[in-house]
Every structure is written in C-alpha cells, then in structure tokens.
Amino acid sequence: GNSVTQMEGPVTLSEEAFLTINCTYTATGYPSLFWYVQYPGEGLQLLLKATKADDKGSNKGFEATYRKETTSFHLEKGSVQVSDSAVYFCALRRLRAGSYQLTFGKGTKLSVIP
Amino acid sequence: GAGVSQSPSNKVTEKGKDVELRCDPISGHTALYWYRQSLGQGLEFLIYFQGNSAPDKSGLPSDRFSAERTGGSVSTLTIQRTQQEDSAVYLCASSWVSWSDRGEYGYTFGSGTRLTVV
C-alpha cells in the first residue's frame, strides 16, 4: 500500500539556519506529493505541492523537488525564522478505487530559536 | 463559507457515550474527508465522500464509527460507545476534485474537534 516516511523530530534550529526535513514515499504509479504545515493552535495548511517527477514546489521560501528515482520529496529552506516553528507533514495522494485519499507521514516538529 | 468549519472545537465525553462531530465544508467542494490525529501517530484516514459516489470507508477503525454527508454538504461523524482510545483530534477537510485532477487543488482543513474520552 501507500506510505510516507519522514524524519522524526523534534528538530531545533537557530534562526537563519538551513532546514532539511527528509520525506520518502512508497506508492505504485505516479502520486501527487504535498507538504502541509500546522502552526501551533491552528489547522493544517497546504504549504506546497508537486504533481509529477522533477516538479519543484515552492512557497514562503520553502522548496521540495519530486524525485521519482529516489522516491523522495525533501523539504528545504535556506534560512529559517522563528515564525516557521510548526509541525510539518509530508503526504501523497493517489487515485485508488475512485478515492483521492491523502496518506500522511507522522509529522516533524520544528522549533526555531532566536 | 470561507473555510471548513468544525464543531464542537472541544468535546469531553464519558466512556460508553455516543458523540457526533460536525463538519461544514467549503461551499462547492465536492470531496470531504475525515482524518484522526493522535499524539505521535500522525494523521489517520477515516472516510472520504465524493459527490454522489459511495463513500470510501476503508479507514474506519471499527463498526462503532460511522459518517454521513447530507445533501452533498455537511457531514457528521458519529462514534458510538466511545472508548478511551478514541481520544484524538478529528479533522475534516474538503477539496474540489475532478477526475482529471492531478492534485492541483489542495485540501482545506478545519481546525478540528478535540475529543477526550474519560
């Protein structure tokens, strides 16, 4: 079946540090890939997405590239800010039996300290 | 509405009681999903509604869980005879979907209902 594995947290970084959160997936065919973010006390929000191999999703300084050869979709940001502190979820979406079901990783908590 | 609305935001119930959780999706979104977020377990898919199609119930953990979506809009998730392991945040999401959709439309999540079974 479909599955998503992302690095376990928590991750603590200093402001302006480089961020990488690893995400790998298992799925048949060609899933769409997503990163969602959950800020403290808020619901999940779509951060970025990529729908085919070699696509790069980007938003708010975050980037992730759909790598089919390594089945990965790692999240990166060159210089994190305190306001980026949140839980980040990698997810894939695959059409299965008429259902576009999102499969999530377990989430990675990021804390950015001044 | 402007976003996905869930109610109540918090619910404390006694073990063995039934609970109903409500989700009001974004107007015009044809797809509606329920997920459960437990501490340290990530998000667990429960059920998916798409238009008039039969729902995908493959994620419901037991027959104590059921959901319906009336008129293609509001959805209610019902948990009967609640158990302590049902304690979690229940999230609803909606999306516009077409069968040619390659995931161009993200899901919009509600803020969730935090259920505590005591």
| pLDDT of the residue at A2 | 83
Q: Is the pLDDT of residue A8 over 90?
A: no
Binary contact (A100, B95; C-beta < 8 A): yes
Residue A42 to residue A80: CA distance in whole angstroms: 20
- CB B43 to CB A51 under 8 A? no
Confidence of residue A29 (pLDDT cuts 50, 70, 90): confident
Q: How far apart are CA A88 and CA A73, in angstroms?
A: 13
Chain B hits for A49, CB-CB cut-off 8 Å, are: 103-104, 106
- Cβ of A43 within 8 Å of Cβ of B91? The answer is yes
User: What residues pair up with B56 in beta bridges, in sequence order?
Assistant: B48
The answer to whether residues A92 and A32 touch, using CB atoms and an 8 Å cutoff, is yes
- Average pLDDT value for residue range A20-30: 91
Residue A105, both tokens: 């990783």
Provide block-wise average pLDDT over 10 residues at a time, chain B (118 residues): 88 97 92 88 87 87 94 92 96 77 69 95
pLDDT of residue A98: 62
Residue B98: its pLDDT value, please? 58
**Secondary structure of chain A as H, E, C letters:** CCEEEECCCCEEEECCCCEEECEEEECCCCCEEEEEEECCCCCEEEEEEECCCCCEEEECCEEEECECCCCECCEEECCCCHHHCEEEEEEEEEEECCEEEEEECCCEEEEEEC
Interface of B with A in 19-78 (CB under 8 A): 31, 33, 35, 40-43, 45, 48, 50, 53, 56, 58-59
